[in-house]
Amino acid sequence: MTQHIQYPESGEKIRVVDGRMQVPDNPILGYVEGDGIGPDITRASMRIWDAAVEKAYGGKRKVHWAELYMGEKAAGLYDGDYFPAETQEALEDLIVSIKGPLTTPVGGGFRSLNVALRQKLDLYACVRPVRHYDGVPSPLQKPEEVDVVIFRENTEDVYAGLEYQSGTDENRKLAKFLREEMGATFFDDAGLGVKPISPFGSKRLVRKAIQYAIDNNRESVTLVHKGNIMKFTEGAFRSWGYEVAREEFGDVTITEDELYSTYGGKRPEGKIVIKDRIADIIFQLMLLRPNDFDVLATMNLNGDYLSDACAAEVGGIGIAPGANMSDNVAVFEATHGTAPKYANQDKVNPGSLLFSGVMMLEYIGWQEAADLIRAAYQKVVTSRIVTYDFARQIEGATEVKTSQFADAIIETMQSGRVDLAKYQQEREQAIEQDRKVRELRRVSSPLEEMIASGRTPHTVGDLMNPNPVSVPAETSVEDAMHLMREKRISSVITQPGPDGDWGIMTQRDVISRIVSKNRQPSSVRVDEVASKPLKTVPLDMSLHDCAEKMASENIRRVVVVDNVGEPLGIISDTDIFASVEQFGLPE
Ligand SMILES: NC(=O)C1=CN([C@@H]2O[C@H](COP(=O)(O)OP(=O)(O)OC[C@H]3O[C@@H](n4cnc5c(N)ncnc54)[C@H](OP(=O)(O)O)[C@@H]3O)[C@@H](O)[C@H]2O)C=CC1
Ligand SMILES: O=C(O)CCC(=O)C(=O)O
Ligand SMILES: [Mg+2]
């Protein structure tokens, strides 16, 4: 018996059987319209979702909406209760729901309903994809390079509510314990907060992020942390993250160190690279080199900051969607808040909630409806029909109200003006192209890649110049010289001749064995001039050991080989010199 919630009679509930979601063609989905701008964006978005489903499935499928209550509307209906028990029960019962933003008072008053929702339903992963749509204004030169999915831990960290207000008995008790039992020092009357980060909470979040990367063919998962400062919370998150990757996904993941030390910067097909970045630098990197990142996994506070900052790169929080997920229940929601100054003005961008709904349609397997909205959105925005937030950044834009923006998308879908296949194909091509650019950069300039990514080189694999140029043994010295000049390289590797050995011919060999001896370059084969056998090192040799070898054997370059002796790259004294100049002595 419910007080105010009524499920539509014509709909059926989604069920989870043996851990798998079963979605009927007439599912009941819950919605909470939210406070402030919530009702405006919910109304507009619902019209779009319904129209897309109708268009995609011709009436065979339909969402049956059940209104659920939280926030101010709930308080009005349930005698001051902002988060009624029956809402929580319905969210769990319906399995999939969507909500608008909810107000949280600052510095006092009740604690966040959004946080309470996540904790009570144990929606431990906040998933926030950030990608760019053509025509959306951005402060970046290449916003199309932003395509990340943030996995934010949603139940722990300083959001756990373990805070003790200055001047209270609880605060004094904790302060006394910390000072007397733990030897801690801090100023008198400091407000105190506790930051719990557990192996359980960290590992399940990272597990979900890696699984997402696998399911969606993503290249990397980056653990974002401030583990240099908060060693036993954020630093531990990082360690636990690598542990999950190694122990549970060892066959499909490699670390970033292995990417260089074993694979020379070329990601093996099907492997996901697990890397980590310190939280402050990730904000810079997401601005300067966003296409280095795919999936970001981080803790609650970092994830909160990072998701708004990344959203700004692709048009702002008016467009950034999200979902709160457990292993069964999902509550989709906009990234932004209630923007109270715009409440009930039919003014703001519905994009954030709209795309949260697109994620929801994908989640229940209604991909065609989701794609239809994306493609129609793209068309409307490129024709510069936008809400106020984009209009103020786009010259010549037509500024429309929230409801008019929804009309434009619906009209575009219904008129059949979207070419879904073309849209999907162009997107796939763009992703593929992006990958190629990334790999090329990684392998063509390893030192610059290290500097830009904030990593420090340790091994020969980190610094070597991969893809060494090699020529057949019978090539004439003259042809090899042309090639060296054209490619601006000072040596070529010579492929095995009759003796079966690889060799190397350098500029210096040409001078000392050809020019100074008055021999014609056109009549001498490279393998007659090449130095053999090759001086080689393995990929994982430390830079220090490599420098020692070069010094003791008086050589300027060595060839990096794989475990069967095939050349993989070349590392020279110039590379090591540049690395020491930049990063200091290798360990
Ligand atoms: N999950 C949730 O329910 C969340 C709730 N909140 C709560 O919301 C309340 C207000 O928080 P506040 O910090 O002001 O953040 P908001 O996200 O509500 O708004 C900040 C600014 O972002 C822009 N903005 C937000 N939404 C839109 C939109 N749909 N379209 C276009 N622009 C948008 C507006 O910018 P401009 O002024 O430049 O036009 C707005 O003034 C607080 O109580 C907070 O706790 C906050 C975040 C998430
Ligand atoms: O709960 C709130 O009021 C703020 C939540 C928030 O900022 C977020 O979910 O990103
Ligand atoms: Mg936030």
More reliable by pLDDT, 357 or 429 = 357
Would you say 114 is a known binding-site residue?
yes
Would you say 498 is a known binding-site residue?
no
Q: What average pLDDT does this structure show over 546-568?
A: 90
Mutate to test the pocket of ligand 1, among 301, 317, 403 (most ligand atoms within 8 A of CB): 317
Q: What is the pLDDT of residues 258-312, one digit of tens each?
A: 898 888 888 999 999 999 999 999 999 999 999 999 999 999 999 999 999 999 9
Would you say 15 is a known binding-site residue?
no
Distance 334 CA to ligand 3 centre (A): 10
Would you say 392 is a known binding-site residue?
yes
At 139, is the pLDDT very low, low, confident or very high (cuts 50, 70, 90)? very high
Best CA proximity match to 496, nearest among 580, 564, 439 = 564
**pLDDT cut 70: percent of the chain above it:** 99
Instruction: Give the span between the Cα atoms of 383 and 390, in whole angstroms.
Output: 12
Q: Please give the pLDDT value at position 1.
A: 64
Q: Please give the pLDDT value at position 504.
A: 93
Residue nearest ligand 2's atom 5 by CA: 114
Ligand closest to the CA atom of residue 337? 1
Please say if the pLDDT value at position 587 is more than 70. no
Q: What average pLDDT does this structure show over 72-95?
A: 96
Q: Is 159 a catalytic residue?
A: yes
Distance 336 CA to ligand 1 centre (A): 5
CB of 531 sitting under 6 A from ligand 1: no
CB of 103 sitting under 6 A from ligand 1: yes
Q: Please give the pLDDT value at position 446.
A: 83
**Structure tokens belonging to residue 33:** 């319209």
More reliable by pLDDT, 24 or 432 = 24
Would you say 152 is a known binding-site residue?
yes
Q: Please give the pLDDT value at position 422.
A: 86
For residue 382, what are the contacts with CB-CB under 8 A and spacing of at least 6?
Answer: 134, 135
Q: Are 183 and 176 in contact (CB under 8 A)?
A: no
Q: What average pLDDT does this structure show over 319-327?
A: 95
At 436, is the pLDDT very low, low, confident or very high (cuts 50, 70, 90)? confident
Q: Please give the pLDDT value at position 29.
A: 98
Q: Is 188 a catalytic residue?
A: no
More reliable by pLDDT, 2 or 180 = 180
Ligand closest to the CA atom of residue 154? 2
CB of 320 sitting under 6 A from ligand 1: no
At 44, is the pLDDT very low, low, confident or very high (cuts 50, 70, 90)? very high
At 110, is the pLDDT very low, low, confident or very high (cuts 50, 70, 90)? confident
CB of 349 sitting under 6 A from ligand 1: yes
Best CA proximity match to 267, nearest among 440, 38, 482, 507 = 440
Q: Please give the pLDDT value at position 220.
A: 97
CB of 32 sitting under 6 A from ligand 1: no
CB of 318 sitting under 6 A from ligand 1: yes
Which ligand 2 atom lies nearest to the CA of residue 103?
3
Residue 544 buriedness (CB in 10 A; 0-12 / 13-18 / 19+):
middle
CB of 100 sitting under 6 A from ligand 1: no
Q: What is the pLDDT of residues 141-179, one digit of tens each?
A: 999 999 999 999 999 999 999 999 999 999 999 999 999
Torsion (CA) 184, 187, 193, 199 in degrees, nearest 10? -30
**pLDDT cut 90: percent of the chain above it:** 78
Distance 99 CA to ligand 2 centre (A): 13
Torsion (CA) 237, 240, 241, 244 in degrees, nearest 10? -160
The catalytically annotated residue of 93, 122, 280, 434 is 280
Give all domains of the chain, ordered by start, each with its CATH number: 1-130+319-418 (3.40.718.10), 456-583 (3.10.580.10)
> Average model confidence (pLDDT) for the chain?
93
Give CA separation, 381 vs 50, 93, 336, 400, in Å: 20, 37, 20, 11
Q: What is the pLDDT of residues 372-408, one digit of tens each?
A: 999 999 999 999 999 999 999 999 999 999 999 999 9
Q: What average pLDDT does this structure show over 226-253?
A: 97
Most confident of 99-108, 205-214, 262-271: 205-214
Please say if the pLDDT value at position 2 is more than 90. no
Question: The pTM is what?
Answer: 0.89
Please say if the pLDDT value at position 53 is more than 70. yes
Q: What average pLDDT does this structure show over 541-546?
A: 92
Distance 122 CA to ligand 1 centre (A): 24
Q: Please give the pLDDT value at position 109.
A: 78
Would you say 388 is a known binding-site residue?
yes
CB of 402 sitting under 6 A from ligand 1: no
Beta strands in 317-438 (DSSP E): 323-325, 330-333, 385-386, 398-399
Q: Is 31 a catalytic residue?
A: no
Q: Please give the pLDDT value at position 451.
A: 83
